[in-house]
């Protein structure tokens, strides 16, 4: 009997694949890195061939390393870096150029124009997104303009896709041109209410309908892996953008469930159920997933400098040699001695949204040392996450009691305890930290009928560690007051 699930996890710097048992345990995994291209300042591209080949190798290697029989794979799930944009010829499959990566700022001017022309509110209302160059829509517009391809696109001779679409087209039998609802939701072309491409948004950006993929559910039949890749046809029955897959893999299936991923940046998502919640606090409204045609929505916020704050201490400040060293140093002092680090090196996101704020270190005395600053850096990751969580709580009208965590910096026990303290929530870390891949695998497992429903897989999500709030309320409030005072010093600093 088929009893394994495989996740393809196509990320920004590497393509990975993980083989899971039906019990949600990791059997084997493999990752392949690929080059980043920076043709101009602020521009970021990927070579589509690199994405494809690295993903195929990762998949083949993970399955080989697992030692399982390919016939025992029940289904494959796909998860991916979001918003990165591909455009290819429907006849030849050849991309018109490199993929434009989510980080690429080349379309910032297009977005400024849209906002200046008062389209911002309409875009927010329909897509749940704050207009930004991150999202695929303006990247696709740029490609159609730059390569002069609008007429060709209108004739249906071109296909647009995010990474999920691109992989499906190239790896599945019969070349389906599809995207899942979570990925569609990051294009700035997808209407959250109608669950379809929006004609007004398409017209605004000059995007012909004929180049857009069919939007499918995040779980359910999507296609079949080309047998040339693993030697057998395998159903692909799960697909979601990375943050959405991670929310699913963290078992955040109930309204109010929240997860935070502590990677380079932090990504926090809260399940808001079958209704999109409009944010008054600078968060994004996004799809959580769509199953059986039924959309589940989420609120999303991100911290730009999460684990990156620790990288900065290591690489630029040379205060530590390894990220993990920060934990012991932070614990070597009883507090920061009144020091706050606001890591606004690239501005501040929700709920502040100030691109002119800059990194600020305040409250130093003659007694301030390296340990205080390192501790302040870790605390800053937690404070920023707390600000996001409060913004979510205000928007959703409910206060979370528990926060599910993952990502590289969630290994730091000091950080996790401080988060529990400052946010007055239980912080829970799962045994499988690869929640993105697990989420894709579980979506595939549901989609192929290996599992009957989420009730059946609830026990697969296993807790590893739990951190409970210990800090007294007066100290918590004093710390938060200090943090917000420090944030105010960081705001509106850069010349503009």
Q: Is 307 in the site for ligand ADP (CB under 6 A)?
A: yes
Q: Is 311 in the site for ligand ADP (CB under 6 A)?
A: yes
Binding mask 286-305 for ligand ADP (x = CB under 6 A): --------------------
Q: Is 103 in the site for ligand ADP (CB under 6 A)?
A: no
How many whole angstroms separate alpha carbon 480 and alpha carbon 486?
10
Q: Is 317 in the site for ligand ADP (CB under 6 A)?
A: no
| 109 CB-near residues (< 8 Å, 6+ apart) | none
Q: Is 405 in the site for ligand ADP (CB under 6 A)?
A: no
| Residue whose CB is less far from ligand ADP, 303 or 457 | 303
How many Cα neighbours within 13 Å face the side chain of 96? 25
Q: Is 249 in the site for ligand ADP (CB under 6 A)?
A: no
User: DSSP letters of 351-373?
Assistant: TT-BTT---EEE---TT--HHHH
| Residue whose CB is less far from ligand ADP, 66 or 243 | 243
| Residue whose CB is less far from ligand ADP, 281 or 311 | 311
Q: Is 323 in the site for ligand ADP (CB under 6 A)?
A: yes
Stretch that binds ligand ADP, among 95-103, 382-390, 405-413, 441-449 (CB under 6 A): 405-413
Q: Is 29 in the site for ligand ADP (CB under 6 A)?
A: no
Pairing of strands 294-303, 266-273: antiparallel
Residue whose entry in the numeric block shows the structure tokens 């009997």: 1
Helix (H) or strand (E) run with residue 286 in it:
strand 284-291
Long-range contacts of 317-320 (CB under 8 A, 24+ apart): 317/373, 319/370, 319/373, 319/374, 320/374
Of 186, 180, 453, the residue nearest 293 (C-alpha): 180
Interacting residue with ligand ADP among 127, 246, 326, 419 (CB under 6 A)? 326
Interacting residue with ligand ADP among 97, 120, 233, 263 (CB under 6 A)? 263
Closest distance to ligand ADP from the beta carbon of 226 (Å): 29
Q: Is 264 in the site for ligand ADP (CB under 6 A)?
A: yes
3-class SS of residue 340: strand
Q: Is 32 in the site for ligand ADP (CB under 6 A)?
A: no
Tokens of 79: 């998860």
Tokens of 113: 């124009």
3-class SS of residue 343: coil
Tokens of 132: 């930004």
How many whole angstroms separate alpha carbon 326 and alpha carbon 98?
38
Between the CA of residue 132 and those of 185, 241, 292, 297, 387, what are the distances in Å?
A: 14, 18, 30, 20, 21
Closest distance to ligand ADP from the beta carbon of 465 (Å): 14
| Chain position whose Cβ is nearest to ligand ADP | 408
Interacting residue with ligand ADP among 324, 465, 477, 494 (CB under 6 A)? 324
Q: Is 416 in the site for ligand ADP (CB under 6 A)?
A: no
| 313 CB-near residues (< 8 Å, 6+ apart) | 319, 320, 326, 373, 374, 377
| Residue whose CB is less far from ligand ADP, 248 or 418 | 418
How many whole angstroms separate alpha carbon 312 and alpha carbon 305?
9
Closest distance to ligand ADP from the beta carbon of 304 (Å): 12
Closest distance to ligand ADP from the beta carbon of 12 (Å): 8
How many residues at the interface with ligand ADP, by CB under 6 A? 15
Stretch that binds ligand ADP, among 110-118, 128-136, 172-180, 320-328 (CB under 6 A): 320-328
Closest distance to ligand ADP from the beta carbon of 311 (Å): 4
Interacting residue with ligand ADP among 96, 411, 471, 480 (CB under 6 A)? 411
- Are the C-beta atoms of 245 and 443 separated by less than 8 Å? yes
How many whole angstroms separate alpha carbon 386 and alpha carbon 398?
14
Closest distance to ligand ADP from the beta carbon of 324 (Å): 4
| Residue whose CB is less far from ligand ADP, 233 or 408 | 408
Measured in degrees and rounded to the nearest 5, phi and psi for residue 32 equal -130, 120
Interacting residue with ligand ADP among 310, 341, 348, 457 (CB under 6 A)? 310
Q: Is 319 in the site for ligand ADP (CB under 6 A)?
A: no
Closest distance to ligand ADP from the beta carbon of 265 (Å): 7
DSSP code of 21? E
Residues that bind ligand ADP (CB under 6 A): 263-264, 307-308, 310-311, 323-324, 326-327, 407-409, 411-412
């Amino acid at each position: 009997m088929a009893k394994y699930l495989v996740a393809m996890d196509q990320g920004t710097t590497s393509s990975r694949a993980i083989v899971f048992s039906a019990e949600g345990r990791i059997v084997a995994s493999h990752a392949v890195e690929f080059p980043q291209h920076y043709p101009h300042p602020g521009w970021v591209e990927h070579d589509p061939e690199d994405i494809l080949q690295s993903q195929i190798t990762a998949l083949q290697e993970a399955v080989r390393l697992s030692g399982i029989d390919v016939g025992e794979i029940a289904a494959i799930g796909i998860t991916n870096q979001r918003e990165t944009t591909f455009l290819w010829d429907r006849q030849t499959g050849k991309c018109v150029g490199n993929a434009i990566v989510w980080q690429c700022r080349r379309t910032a001017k297009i977005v400024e124009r849209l906002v200046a022309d008062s389209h911002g509110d309409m875009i927010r209302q329909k897509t749940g997104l704050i207009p930004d160059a991150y999202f695929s829509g303006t990247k696709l517009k740029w490609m159609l303009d730059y390569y002069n391809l609008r007429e060709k696109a209108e004739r249906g001779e071109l296909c647009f896709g995010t990474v999920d679409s691109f992989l499906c087209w190239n790896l599945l039998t019969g070349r389906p041109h599809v995207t899942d609802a979570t990925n569609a939701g990051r294009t700035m072309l997808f209407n959250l209410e109608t669950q379809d491409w929006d004609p007004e948004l398409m017209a605004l950006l000059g995007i012909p309908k004929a180049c857009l993929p069919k939007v499918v559910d995040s779980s359910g039949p999507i296609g079949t892996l080309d047998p040339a890749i693993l030697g057998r046809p395998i159903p692909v029955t799960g697909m979601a953008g990375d943050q959405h897959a991670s929310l699913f893999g963290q078992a955040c299936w109930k309204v109010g469930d929240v997860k935070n991923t502590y990677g380079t940046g932090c990504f926090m998502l809260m399940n808001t159920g079958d209704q999109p919640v409009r944010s008054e606090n600078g968060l994004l409204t996004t799809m959580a997933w769509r199953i059986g045609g039924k959309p589940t929505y989420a609120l999303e916020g991100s911290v730009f400098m999460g684990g990156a704050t620790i990288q900065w201490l290591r690489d630029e400040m040379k205060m530590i040699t390894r990220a993990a060293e920060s934990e012991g140093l932070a614990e070597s002092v009883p507090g920061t001695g009144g020091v706050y680090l606001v890591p606004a090196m690239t501005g501040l996101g929700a709920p502040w949204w100030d691109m002119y704020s800059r990194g600020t270190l305040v409250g130093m005395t003659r007694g301030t040392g390296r340990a205080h600053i390192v501790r302040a850096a870790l605390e800053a990751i937690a404070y920023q996450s707390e600000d996001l969580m409060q913004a979510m709580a205000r928007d959703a009208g409910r206060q979370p009691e528990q926060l599910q965590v993952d990502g590289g910096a969630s290994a730091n026990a000091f950080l996790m305890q401080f988060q529990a303290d400052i946010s007055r929530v239980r912080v829970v870390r799962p045994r499988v930290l690869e929640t993105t891949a697990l989420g894709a695998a579980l979506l595939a497992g549901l989609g192929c009928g290996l599992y009957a429903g989420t009730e059946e897989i609830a026990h697969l999500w296993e807790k590893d560690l739990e951190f409970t709030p210990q800090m007294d309320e007066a100290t918590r409030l004093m710390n938060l007051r200090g943090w917000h005072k420090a944030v105010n010093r960081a705001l509106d600093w850069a010349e503009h």
